[in-house]
Amino acid sequence: MENSMEKSEDLQPQPVYPRLTIEEIKTEVLSHLYLEKGLLSTFISMLKRPSKTVEIYLHGNRRKIQNPFRYLIIGVAFSTFIMLANPSFRNYISNIQQSSKGNYDQLDAATGLSFYEKFTQAQEIYMSYQNLVLTLAIPLIALVTFLFFRKKAYNFAEHMAINCLVFGTIYWLSGLFSLVTFFMDYSFIIYLSWFLTFAIGTYLYWKVFSINIFKSMLSILSAYLAAMVVGIFFQIAVFLVLLIL
Those residues with Cβ within 8 angstroms of residue 183's Cβ, 6 or more apart along the chain or in another chain: 88
| Distance, CA of 52 to CA of 60 (rounded, Å) | 10
- State the Cα angle at 123 between 118 and 126, rounded to 5°: 125
How would DSSP label each residue in 49-64? -HHHHHHHHHHS-GGG
Please report, in tens digits, the pLDDT of each residue of the chain (245 residues total): 545 555 555 555 555 556 566 666 655 555 555 555 578 889 999 999 999 999 999 988 877 889 999 999 999 999 999 988 888 888 878 887 777 777 777 776 767 777 788 888 888 999 999 999 999 999 999 999 999 998 888 999 999 999 999 999 999 999 999 888 887 777 778 888 889 999 999 999 999 999 999 999 999 999 999 999 999 999 999 989 988 87
- Residue 176 in contact with residue 19, Cβ under 8 Å? no
How would DSSP label each residue in 84-152? HH-HHHHHHHHHHHHHTHHHHHHHHHHHSS-HHHHHHHHHHHHHHTHHHHHHHHHHHHHHHHHHHTGGG
- State the Cα angle at 140 between 211 and 43, rounded to 5°: 60
| Distance, CA of 13 to CA of 23 (rounded, Å) | 28
